[in-house]
Homo-oligomer: A and B are copies of this chain.
Amino acid sequence: MDLTELIARGRPRFRTATAFVEAILREAILTGALPGGTPLRQEELAASFAVSRMPVREALRQLEAQALVDFAPHKGAVVTDISAADGADHYAIRAALEPAALRLSLPHLTAADFERAEGLLAEMDAEPDQSRLGELNRRFHLTLYARAGRPRLLALVEQHLAAADRYLRFHFAALGRDRMAQDEHAAILAAARAGDADEATRVLRTHIETAARDLERFFASRTD
């Protein structure tokens, strides 16, 4: 288990030990540093974080509610496994939520927002580090939804965008970065800029559903 790097920096950035542990663990799970199925022993984690078992326990509880770990009474916590079915589940949620968020947000997007989104696309084209692409992709999407004025909806979208990051590496493995759908991103941005909500949400939904199908195909070919 290689959490030491993540732990080393940024300890005092957090108000409470629980928040600290929770943030680092979530990061580790979403980036794949802690793969699905990894058992999370409380004492071991507590030693790594140099805290007692209690903040670890509370952090694990919160991660459980976010569906990032599975909790079994007296058995312990395990990093939620990724699977074809789970991936399809996440993408189905994204396909439902994100077009709705975009539709609400679009009328209130400013020129500066579009500039920022376009900048993020350019960054993605130039970014060599695969692990940072997920965050850029997330920020691009969230920029377009940011003006929806629905905090809960946005929190849900952000959560499932982050969860989808766990599957992003499979897209790379299967298709390479060329297929990272930059053209689709550009099409979404263009339609949004033109104020065409129907077209923008349609392209966005297709974008997400295409990614879901790619993922499904990858898993299907892998089980052979």
Contact = CB atoms under 8 A, between A and B. Distances in A.
Contact of A153 (B19, B57, B92, B104): B92
Contacts of A86: 152
Interface in A93-123: 93, 95-97, 99-101, 104
Contact of A89 (B65, B88, B153): B153
Interface string A149-189: 01111011000000000000000000000000000000000
Q: Chain B CB within 10 Å — which of A96, A99, A153 has the most?
A: A96
A100 B93 CA distance: 8
A222 B62 CA distance: 36
- Copies held by the complex: 2
A131 interface: no
Given A16-B73, A61-B58, A61-B61, A96 B88 contact: no
A90 interface: yes
Q: Is the interface of A mostly helix, strand, loop or mixed?
A: helix
A13 interface: no
A92 B65 contact: no
Interface string A76-89: 00000000001011
29 contacts: A15-B73, A19-B73, A58-B58, A58-B61, A61-B61, A61-B65, A62-B62, A62-B64, A62-B65, A64-B65, A65-B65, A65-B66, A86-B152, A89-B150, A89-B153, A90-B152, A92-B153, A93-B97, A93-B150, A93-B152, A93-B153, A93-B156, A95-B100, A96-B97, A96-B99, A96-B101, A96-B153, A97-B97, A156-B156
B62 A92 contact: no
A75 B95 CA distance: 38
A141 to B, nearest CB: 15
